[in-house]
Structure 1
Amino acid sequence: MKEEERSECGGEPLFEDPDFPSDDSSLFSDSSTPITRLQGDITWQRPQEICQSPALFPDNINLGHAKQGLLGDCWFLCACTILLKNKHLMNKVLPPDQPQWGDCKYRGSFQLRLWQHGHWTEVTIDDRLPCINSTLCFSRCHAPTAFWVPLLEKAYAKLHGSYERLWAGQVSEALVDLTGGLAERWSLGDGGAEEEQGTEQDSDRVRRRRLDLNLLDPVKDGCALSCSTHSSPGGASELGQYHALTVMEWLDVSTVSGGQVRLLRIRNPWGRCCWGGAWIGSGAGWSSVAPACAMDLQGRTAEGEFWLDETEFLSQFDDVTVGYPINEEGHLKSIYTGNLLTHSHQLVGRWVNGHSAGGCRNSSNYSSNPKFWLKVCERGEVLVSLLQHRKRRHTQQYAQTTLGDSKNTKHQHYQAIALHMWKVEKKRFNLGRTLNKPPCASTHCHAYEREVILHGQLEPGYYLLIPSTFLPGAEARFLIRGFSSSATSLSALKTPGPSLPLVTDGEWESSYFQGMWVVGMNAGGSRNFLSHWQNPWFPFTVCDDPAGTSEVNVRITLHQSQPDTDLHPIGFHVYKVPEGVSELTLPRDEDPVASCVPHCYTQDVSLACCLPPGAYAIVPSTYQPDCPGSFTLNLARKIHRRVVKSQERLGRAIQEVSHISVMRS
């Protein structure tokens, strides 16, 4: 630590983040991007070492926009624009009233919040920023004394593991992470014959909607709009293979000939003009509008901004990303109707190989995918999204992938996913018959996207939602989110357990066991894994039935002590312990005599069965190894007692009651 890095009051050392240190481990992950050549040249400096009077925001907010540096994160910087347009969103991400430079309470740290997997996550960073020759080498604000952008970039890099992991991405992902809302990508091109011939999992461009700016008019002031190109448009050769830009505004302008032309103002995060169209500088386009109008519009452009007309826009850019507006109460506004979506729900889920990763509708195991109920109480607009967790790329494999191969890069991060929906009568619901019918709505194609979205006006009733990956056995965690203008509910359809034998009323003696799965010790996972025998196990005995029957009814319930958002798939097996074998050793070569499988994402799983007298052991487990958590086992055994005649005056027959506990079936 530098000796001079002390707070102004009390001389306390300034905060240095041990989890995201100022060294190469925070800069690089796999050395697969061009910033690798900066290794050894980067130093870390605090804002007060870079300029004399640092502040989070400039006095002129227009100078607070992001300017891209040497890091290829234009997608993230384009999304940052929505925060400058919406103060309540900015305050959510960067809570106000934090001590800044020159403040007596300043300690060299900042707290930011980013949305991840359904929740806002607080990220604490120090304010040491990567520099080359005392100049910020990554993002910055147009005002050299403003630092909210590089601090937010650092927090986002910490969340992803390094700055290098911000190289290349989707604007839609960053918009969701900065707002907790929704974002959609729309196509500008015609898709092309080659795309239309692609297989289902690769034809994601075909499934995207075509842009209609007229549709966005009701929400144009609140939504975020970004455009991207995968080639070099309009003579802008410096754009290279991929670049994202921000649409600042669009408007219809009257021409001198009595017609109209729609113009769009575009901001390049590089901070310099990169366009050679008819509306650049003194281009020919300006002669078609009144001089006063031309002067006004040209005066609106800041550094790195330019105008172009809708025809140029549609022909030169490949797609756009639309971020949904969010009001101060946190409600989304539909980009289709302008309606407020005041009701929202979310549930977590997971595709598990061999259990719930059934693949697409062409697969015979499709019905094993996770299933959800959407209840619509009254007719209204409904949006349902499926968001999968990002999978980390394989370092060596990614290092061999060229940066221009965006499809391969995207496929390494995500599974190809889709969401299908059927309207059903819940009381007469039959899964097989339902899945043989066409869905009432779907995302059409499986797409290598982090999030896919269904939209529609739905009538009251029950709807079955099934998220799926294209390939069977593909594993991933996911989040189902629902937004609606009218009252709805969202719940998981619990996977039914095995058929249980019916038991008659009677007395039950219960025993309770508590345990924990601990990573590296006894979280062994299911029987699919050799570590299964590391799981906790609980011995019990079934005694001879005094009534003379050969078997005893037993009920076992496993309850996991996890919140609904963090449930593990759980189940258990019951093993017979042979005579003469120590209870400390389980017979690993024997099959279980009873099982509660497949493993289910629920708080409780239970099994009722009949067991002959003998010694047994229960082995509870999660499906995957190394899933920590605590649990409770409830073991209930049927008790047979003789009815005793009472000598009471009323002459009634009474049953003796177990003093241990009573459970009525």
Structure 2
Amino acid sequence: MPSSAITVRLLKEENPSTKNIVSPYLGKDYHKLVQECLQQGRLFEDANFPAESQSLGYDQLGPFSENTRGIKWKRPQEICQSPQFICEDMKWTDVCQGELGNCWFLAAAASLTQYPLLKERVVPPQQSFESGYAGIFHFQFWQYGEWVDVVVDDRLPVKDGKLVFVSSAQKSEFWAALLEKAYAKLNGSYEALGGGFMNEAFVDFTGGLGETVKLKEPPPNLFYLLQKAVKKKSLMGAFIQAQSQSQIENQTPEGLVKGHAYSIIATWEIQKNSKKISLLRLRNPWGRVEWKGNWSDDSALWSEVDPEIRQKLQVRSEDGEFWIQMEDFLRFFDILEVCNLTPESVTEESAHLWKTNTFCGRWVGHSAGGCRTYKDTFWTNPQFLVTLTEQDEEKHGKCTLLVSLMQKNRRQGRAKGRDFLSVGFEIYQVPKEFDNKMCASERRDLFSTLESVASCSFMVERDVTGRYQLPPGQYLLIPSTFQPHQESDFILRIFTEKQHKLMEIDCEIRANENVFKEPALKGTMEEFTAHFARLSGQDKEISPEELQRIMMQITFKHPHLKTNGFSLDICRLLVKMADLNSNGKLQLEEFRKLWSKIKEWEKIFTKYDKDRSGAMDVQELRLALEAAGFTLNNRLIESLCQKYGNTVRQVYFDSFLSCLAYLVCVFEQCRAMDKNKDGVIGISKQEWLQLLRLN
């Protein structure tokens, strides 16, 4: 017997690899622009990041700020004679801080110079002020799962003849200043770069995963983790927190600078009197001012070390680099930042490289559930299943799991008063019965029984990361904002030592038998026939206009059904759903079936209007649709919430009926496509989207 239900299975499509693809930012192709400028004999002027006040900032560097008075925009040849993009080679001493509080960016840029392959990706070669010069330069950054190529003109902010922001120790060199300008463009303005974390720039330079460690609460095996990070080619930095703005960049008696980001470039263990001493090699991006304590350049402790080791490690020069003992590092420094690189970033084969996975998602409408404190909505957040199958090489029975949750495009919104949200995530042990609970209502009911095995603190930062040691198994990962109803795009990334699986938990697309089954009608057929005669008039048919009048009269008498007036479009859709004769009107039997459905849907609407406001919250829409016989995937639920929900995330009764009538029409067409009559059709995503647009 043919099934009256219908399941839609979207066929998997081959996704071409995008790891080496770089997209032109804002559609501006560097090579085309260079050719255009050379052919026209002009220097490039960037209309997307003009040499005007809005590119400087919006508050402290805003158009009417005292700080921006006297600033002019000049090209390098107007600042010095014979400017060069790079003098000899890019060195970490090239990067000098200007009047912007972005030492986090400087430290990351300085670290970048020590990794030739990373450096050439961010700062493409063959750029100069000589052959082929057109006043345009370009740089490449990783942005939320893809690489983008950002072009800028070379007009730079200058005050009293000097660059206002980043400059080079060699005054004729401009790669660092232009890199900063490109990064400012990517983030909306120079001022948007104020106040950040080194990891943010590390991640944008490499596509890696940023990790933060509080050094006053260090993990017991921190030095071992740093050794592994060096082997994995990770970028690392640390800083001493300043207690006030006035303390930033103050020097301590030990030769360290507060509020200043240091790069960590090496580790070493020295054997001394049967004891191992753990050392870290740090670099001050200023290229001067060094640690004066144990194992500093001039420390007497070096005289007790094997001459061959001393020759290899000790460097006596004021170059900003120094060794520091692990105990002193933990004593003086507060925050450690590590950027774990992907295999694509390292570009070399190694057994030490991470295994990675990425997913782009959104908190929007029905899926913006807030943290677990909000029990009624937390379950509506996006959910992911992480499968750890193989323990680490150390054979301690655990798997290393790094989780990164990153907000997208929030720094760019600062000028409009939109900044980072407080975000975090929870990790739960997955019970065996969870695999069979694919309906939203079933999964919701299981939430009270889930056991949390890990979580991260909610933080107002772009990237929130946690490192966990978990036994092999399946885990439920739920990212969320702290407050419900806060909308944002996010990117979720997983790094593990060994192979793992990451999948979004989603529902199949299905309409069950109840969707197409005719509900029982209250009262007798004679009563309904008489009622139909009164409503339909002389032609004995109900038109969309007549249905509109009927629905307006009924909802007027029932304040628990809030509407926007039942538009003719909604009434035409309801008529279309039941119009077997396709004449645009409903006869007695057609209207009886429609009316039975409307009454059935009214009961569902009333059930999920929990506060009796006359409207349903969009976060209940998935459950209401499920009660009506539809299980839908996350993407379709999102589009339905946007289409039928209002600006305050509510669905009115007329919109609810419209949504259900729309779905009935879609799935009727799906049933018509079921040639085998087995209740299942397989179509491509493109065909499915086309089908949705036709209704």
The alignment partner of 2:375 has SS state of: coil
The alignment partner of 2:49 has SS state of: coil
Match of 1:213 among 219, 223, 237: 223
**Deviations 1:303-345 (Å, cap 9, x if unpaired)?**
33344322221111101001113445668999xxx74334523
The 2-side partners of 1:116 and 1:159 are apart by 9
**Deviations 1:520-552 (Å, cap 9, x if unpaired)?**
xxxxxxxxx999999986833244356578114
The 1-side partners of 2:615 and 2:377 are apart by 28
The equivalent residue for 2:247 is: none
Do the aligned residues in 1 keep the contact of 2:61 with 2:67 (CA within 8 Å)? no
Say how many residue pairs are matched: 540
Q: Which runs of 5+ in 2 are unaligned?
A: 1-33, 243-249, 392-398, 519-561, 579-584, 599-603, 606-612, 626-631, 650-658, 680-695
Do the aligned residues in 1 keep the contact of 2:370 with 2:482 (CA within 8 Å)? yes
The alignment partner of 1:266 has SS state of: strand
The equivalent residue for 1:386 is: 405
* 1:317 maps to 2:349: no
Corresponding letter in the other structure for 2:225: L
The 2-side partners of 1:339 and 1:28 are apart by 42
Please show how residues 235-634 of structure 1 align to structure 2 within 5 Å: 235=253, 239-240=257-258, 242-254=259-271, 260-273=276-289, 275-280=291-296, 282-289=298-305, 297-299=313-315, 301=317, 303-328=319-344, 339-352=352-365, 355-374=366-385, 376=387, 378-379=389-390, 381=399, 382-389=401-408, 391=410, 413-425=420-432, 426-429=434-437, 430-432=442-444, 434-439=446-451, 441-455=453-467, 462-484=474-496, 485-494=498-507, 501-503=514-516, 539-540=572-573, 541=575, 542=578, 543-544=585-586, 550-552=592-594, 597-598=621-622, 602-604=634-636, 620-621=643-644
The 2-side partners of 1:395 and 1:607 are apart by 28
**Residues 253 and 341 from structure 1, CA distance in 2 versus in 1: closer, same or farther, beyond 3 angstroms?**
closer
Corresponding letter in the other structure for 2:484: P
The equivalent residue for 2:49 is: 20
The equivalent residue for 1:406 is: none
Do the aligned residues in 2 keep the contact of 1:379 with 1:458 (CA within 8 Å)? no
Tell me how far 1:460 sits from its aligned partner: 6.8
The alignment partner of 1:384 has SS state of: strand
Tell me how far 1:13 sits from its aligned partner: 1.0
The 2-side partners of 1:100 and 1:533 are apart by 65
Match of 1:100 among 110, 128, 152: 128
The 2-side partners of 1:538 and 1:118 are apart by 44
Please show how residues 67-86 of structure 1 align to structure 2 within 5 Å: 67-86=96-115
The 10-residue stretch of structure 1 (420-429 or 12-21) with the greater mean CA deviation from structure 2: 420-429
Tell me how far 1:127 sits from its aligned partner: 1.5
Q: Which runs of 5+ in 1 are unaligned?
A: 191-207, 399-410, 506-528, 557-573, 576-588, 609-617, 640-656
Tell me how far 1:133 sits from its aligned partner: 3.7
**Residues 129 and 233 from structure 1, CA distance in 2 versus in 1: closer, same or farther, beyond 3 angstroms?**
closer
Tell me how far 1:235 sits from its aligned partner: 2.0
**Residues 637 and 246 from structure 1, CA distance in 2 versus in 1: closer, same or farther, beyond 3 angstroms?**
closer
**Deviations 1:12-64 (Å, cap 9, x if unpaired)?**
1110111211222211221179x955422333232334444444434244456
Do the aligned residues in 2 keep the contact of 1:331 with 1:342 (CA within 8 Å)? no
The 1-side partners of 2:488 and 2:639 are apart by 28
Corresponding letter in the other structure for 1:251: W
**Residues 110 and 279 from structure 1, CA distance in 2 versus in 1: closer, same or farther, beyond 3 angstroms?**
same
Corresponding letter in the other structure for 2:463: E
Do the aligned residues in 2 keep the contact of 1:247 with 1:265 (CA within 8 Å)? yes
Percent of aligned positions that are identical: 27
The 1-side partners of 2:110 and 2:567 are apart by 51
**Residues 378 and 274 from structure 1, CA distance in 2 versus in 1: closer, same or farther, beyond 3 angstroms?**
closer
The 10-residue stretch of structure 1 (17-26 or 126-135) with the greater mean CA deviation from structure 2: 126-135
The 2-side partners of 1:295 and 1:625 are apart by 69
**Deviations 1:53-111 (Å, cap 9, x if unpaired)?**
444434244456522222211111222244323333223323333x42111x2211122
The 2-side partners of 1:412 and 1:58 are apart by 38
Corresponding letter in the other structure for 1:228: F
**Residues 233 and 49 from structure 1, CA distance in 2 versus in 1: closer, same or farther, beyond 3 angstroms?**
closer
**Residues 661 and 272 from structure 1, CA distance in 2 versus in 1: closer, same or farther, beyond 3 angstroms?**
closer
Tell me how far 1:661 sits from its aligned partner: 8.8
Corresponding letter in the other structure for 2:464: V
Do the aligned residues in 1 keep the contact of 2:208 with 2:342 (CA within 8 Å)? yes
The alignment partner of 1:374 has SS state of: strand
The 2-side partners of 1:536 and 1:120 are apart by 44
Corresponding letter in the other structure for 1:357: A
**Residues 504 and 176 from structure 1, CA distance in 2 versus in 1: closer, same or farther, beyond 3 angstroms?**
same
The equivalent residue for 1:199 is: none
The 2-side partners of 1:10 and 1:460 are apart by 61
* 1:113 maps to 2:169: no
Match of 1:189 among 183, 198, 216: 216
The 2-side partners of 1:183 and 1:246 are apart by 14
**Residues 272 and 18 from structure 1, CA distance in 2 versus in 1: closer, same or farther, beyond 3 angstroms?**
same
**Residues 281 and 13 from structure 1, CA distance in 2 versus in 1: closer, same or farther, beyond 3 angstroms?**
same
Match of 1:39 among 68, 78, 90: 68
Please show how residues 121-136 of structure 1 align to structure 2 within 5 Å: 121-136=148-163
Please show how residues 159-170 of structure 1 align to structure 2 within 5 Å: 159-170=186-197
**Deviations 1:253-307 (Å, cap 9, x if unpaired)?**
455x675543333222233305443455645544544677656545375633344
Tell me how far 1:375 sits from its aligned partner: 5.3
Tell me how far 1:480 sits from its aligned partner: 1.8
Q: TM-score with structure 2 length normalisation?
A: 0.64
The alignment partner of 1:550 has SS state of: helix
The alignment partner of 1:125 has SS state of: strand
Please show how residues 45-64 of structure 1 align to structure 2 within 5 Å: 45-62=74-91
The 2-side partners of 1:531 and 1:550 are apart by 24
Tell me how far 1:488 sits from its aligned partner: 1.7
**Residues 491 and 413 from structure 1, CA distance in 2 versus in 1: closer, same or farther, beyond 3 angstroms?**
closer
**Residues 362 and 9 from structure 1, CA distance in 2 versus in 1: closer, same or farther, beyond 3 angstroms?**
closer
Q: TM-score with structure 1 length normalisation?
A: 0.67
The alignment partner of 2:186 has SS state of: helix
Do the aligned residues in 2 keep the contact of 1:225 with 1:321 (CA within 8 Å)? yes
The 2-side partners of 1:314 and 1:535 are apart by 70
The alignment partner of 1:72 has SS state of: coil
Corresponding letter in the other structure for 1:224: L
The alignment partner of 1:269 has SS state of: coil
Higher strand share: 1
Do the aligned residues in 2 keep the contact of 1:424 with 1:461 (CA within 8 Å)? no
| Structure of greater relative contact order (alpha carbons < 8 Å, 6+ residues apart) | 2
The alignment partner of 1:71 has SS state of: coil
The 2-side partners of 1:177 and 1:531 are apart by 46
Corresponding letter in the other structure for 1:244: A
The 1-side partners of 2:301 and 2:568 are apart by 73
The alignment partner of 1:90 has SS state of: helix
The alignment partner of 2:228 has SS state of: helix
Do the aligned residues in 2 keep the contact of 1:372 with 1:465 (CA within 8 Å)? yes
The 10-residue stretch of structure 1 (372-381 or 149-158) with the greater mean CA deviation from structure 2: 372-381
Corresponding letter in the other structure for 2:222: D
**Deviations 1:96-137 (Å, cap 9, x if unpaired)?**
33x42111x221112222222332233211122223343333
**Residues 343 and 161 from structure 1, CA distance in 2 versus in 1: closer, same or farther, beyond 3 angstroms?**
closer
**Residues 210 and 296 from structure 1, CA distance in 2 versus in 1: closer, same or farther, beyond 3 angstroms?**
same
